[in-house]
Amino acid sequence: MRGLTPEEAATAVEWAAAEGWNPGLSDLPCFLAQDPGLFLGVAEGGRLASVIAATRYGADFGFIGFYIARPEVRGQGLGMVVWQAAMARLSGRLVGLDGVVAQQANYRKSGFSLAWNNIRFGGVPAALGPVGADVVEAASVPFAALAALDRSVFPAAREDFLRAWLSAPAHVALAVVRDGAVAGFGVIRPAREGHKIGPLVAEDRGVAERLAAALIAQLVPAGGPVFLDVAEPQRDAVALAEALGLTPVFETARMYTGPAPDLALPLLFGITSFELG
């Protein structure tokens, strides 16, 4: 049982791709920017057998992701080894995860409670109309304004991660400026299949639609699929995904070890990552 090197962490991302989770092409350096020690693994016979990510945010929050074992060693208890190590690394914090809906009962045994379900929408997007003149490059607005919006929909500050995410290779980050203030921002990035939008944070659905239209217009070739992860209780986000012509392809259960954090869900139109929250 050990922390993983960056090269071994890349193996964890490859396993996630093999599971059909469709990670972004530049996700890993951004994850490591937030917490260089987040990836843990157990080896058997000199080969990685099971991995997990236990990401620390500030002093009070953590998130579990990348919980995977090689198919041929499943059922041998190695997954429990990394699970226990991850929970020990995040001891004393509120911990969140996005788990397979069918595994809720198992997570409850470890002290997690359901907060809501998330839905991944995907497909070839429909046109949402022209891009508004109030859409600008995110790099042209104060980073503090973007970080404040992000903090309103996430349980902890994550400036190091956000800086890396906004500027990662092939990521496009846009913002909407309304009456001199930042009313929303979003990022689109290439994934193993198509492109993924996230985060998408906006004061209202109109702002979110303009951002989504601008992001899609910038990067997605004709016929290319787009994926958007939304919190099911945020009905405006669900309506936006449907307006884009996307359909549900996957669901997760957002669970926490304590009361769900007080997030501004009406502003959350796209979740950044099921693996890191």
The mean pLDDT of the chain is 94
For CA atoms 256, 65, 117, 263, give the dihedral sign: positive
Reference 54, options 118, 105, 4; nearest CA is 4
pLDDT band at 221 (very low <50, low <70, confident <90, very high): low
Per-residue pLDDT of 152-162, as tens digits, reads: 999 999 999 99
Q: Assess whether pLDDT exceeds 70 at residue 251.
A: yes
**Same CATH fold, 121-270 and 2-97?**
yes
Q: Which residues pair with 230 in a beta bridge?
A: 119
Q: Assess whether pLDDT exceeds 90 at residue 194.
A: yes
Q: What is the pLDDT of residue 62?
A: 98
State the average pLDDT over residues 3-24: 93
Instruction: In whole angstroms, give the CA distance from residue 194 to residue 133.
Output: 26
Domain 2-97 has CATH 3.40.630.30: yes
pLDDT band at 249 (very low <50, low <70, confident <90, very high): very high
Q: Where are the domains of the chain?
A: 2-97, 121-270
Q: What is the pLDDT of residue 79?
A: 84
Q: Assess whether pLDDT exceeds 90 at residue 127.
A: no
28-32, 123-127, 139-143, 183-187: segment of lowest average pLDDT: 123-127
Alpha-carbon dihedral of residues 168, 145, 179, 136, nearest 10 degrees? -10
Determine the CATH number of domain 121-270: 3.40.630.90
Tokens representing residue 134 in the block: 């109030």
Residue 63 has phi, psi (to 5 degrees) of -140, 135
Q: What is the pLDDT of residue 222?
A: 64
Length of the chain: 277
State the average pLDDT over residues 202-218: 94
Q: Assess whether pLDDT exceeds 90 at residue 235.
A: yes
What does each C-alpha distance from 99 to 67, 132, 147, 175, 247 come to in angstroms?
Answer: 9, 37, 26, 30, 20
